[in-house]
Amino acid sequence: MKAKLLIVDDDEAIRTQMKWALVQDYEVLLAEDREEAIALFKSERPDVTLLDLGLPPSPNTPEEGLAALSGMLALDRNAKIIIISGQGERENALRAVGAGAYDFLCKPVDFDELKLLLGRCFYLVGLEREYREMQQTVESDGFEGMLGTSVKMQGVFAFLRKVAPTSAPVLLLGESGTGKEMAAVAIHRRSLRKNGPFIAINCNAIPENLLESELFGHEKGAFTGAQVQRNGLIESAADGTLFLDEIGELPPPIQVKLLRFLQEQTFMRVGGRREIQIDTRIVAATNADLSQSIANGTFREDLYFRLAVVVISLPSLRDRGEDIGVVASEFLRRFALKNGKSGLSFAPEALKAINAHAWPGNVRELQNRVQRAVIMADGKRITAKDMELAGESESVPSGTLKEAREGIEKAMVQQALKKHAGRITSAAADLGISRPTLYELMEKLGIAKR
């Protein structure tokens, strides 16, 4: 089907001339006054409109044309309307552009110039339509704020929908930044416990001597400084969900207490002598290889099987194909709106660099880079330089895809370590990954610790 073009002009000869010049490329609709123009615009929804400002009953003033412009924009604020004005009416044409018109041309119209302008305008209309369709796809194919149209992510969403209404423990696996906490929140929101608390704890972020008290609570006088009885997070998450991130870092003595809780739904506070029964669902996550930890004796096999009633693996961003562009575009929309920079888009070379990047920090790294790019961008287009990805799309490395990814990861890790003089915490933050993940990457890539 041809794209629709509405021509509004009170001069029949001009309407006919334009129609014959453009009818091969577009489905041309004609109107001679404001009332007819708005009626056609409402019923036919043309992609682009050519509008003469001088319309009856006042063809010598721009008021009827401006009123027609206002009426069309009220029906569709994204309408593409090109103003056709006389040589002496440039000021009125600029006034119309300020009111929302896309562009203007002066009479007599140069048809080569008109066709070029229409080509750009219809191209923009197509891009905007594709973006709206993509947004609808994201909304329909997303899950509780998680984005993804790829087969892998749709599989993850299907698993989450099935397991959420149950009370079964869930183990989430995946690299740092793949969205494990968002998946845990999604499970909670879709569960029968959604009105109860959702509490998260990073097992690697709390010193071992405090972690037991943090999880299970303590009685008054249980240790020096325990001046009052205090509930732990398991108790605080009663009738809700407790998310244990980086479960692989849990010390062996606490693994024993957690195993007992999973078996019996009972526990004792530190220094306590009374069994406490609590109905709390456990969702755990790790980016570590627990099978290796079990083989090394640092993680209990019986605890693993209690936690892993349902195991859901979240794919890395680099393995999600078309999702990379979808997720990047959604982050751009959100951060542009938040920062008052509506209308931002990715330049073609930025999209190419985004798709070429290995994303060792996964969705979290992509989110950080897009947010920074929105803040730093000067124009309406986000460039590869704004994303700090300049140059990555210029050459294609040889070898296998795995070797190429590892080469890019190694270069980025080495660059971050050099930038921060070997400081692991700072380098990991710059890469958008956790310290344990950076250590794992360094070991995998053969990068020596300084």
Q: Look up the CATH number of the domain holding residue 77.
A: 3.40.50.2300
Final residue in a domain of this structure, among 315, 335, 360? 315
The total number of structural domains in the chain stands at 4
Q: What is the CATH number of the domain that holds 341?
A: 1.10.8.60
**E strand or H helix at 80:** strand 80-85
Q: Are 75 and 37 in contact (CB under 8 A)?
A: no
Is residue 272 located within the same domain as residue 417?
A: no
Is residue 177 located within the same domain as residue 289?
A: yes
Residue 108 preceded by cis peptide, ω within 30: yes
The beta strands (E) that lie in 228-356 are given as: 241-245, 266-267, 276-277, 281-286, 310-313, 345-346
Across the range 310-316, mean pLDDT stands at 94
Is residue 24 located within the same domain as residue 92?
A: yes
pLDDT at 173: 95
pLDDT tens digits along 11-35: 899 999 999 999 999 999 999 999 9
pLDDT at 378: 84
pLDDT at 416: 81
Domain region containing 342? 320-389
Within-domain flag for 146 = no
Q: Who has greater pLDDT, 312 or 397?
A: 312
Q: What is the CATH number of the domain that holds 418?
A: 1.10.10.60
pLDDT at 191: 93
Within-domain flag for 201 = yes
What does pTM read for this prediction?
Answer: 0.58
Nearest in space to 126 (alpha carbons), one of 91, 92, 80:
80
Q: Who has greater pLDDT, 132 or 256?
A: 256
Is residue 167 located within the same domain as residue 243?
A: yes
Final residue in a domain of this structure, among 337, 369, 389? 389
Across the range 338-349, mean pLDDT stands at 85
Final residue in a domain of this structure, among 283, 315, 347? 315
Within-domain flag for 137 = no
pLDDT tens digits along 96-109: 888 888 888 888 88
Is residue 158 located within the same domain as residue 230?
A: yes
DSSP labels, 147-203: ---SHHHHHHHHHHHHHTTS---EEEE--TTS-HHHHHHHHHHTSTTTTS-EEEEET
For all residues of the chain together, what is the average pLDDT? 86
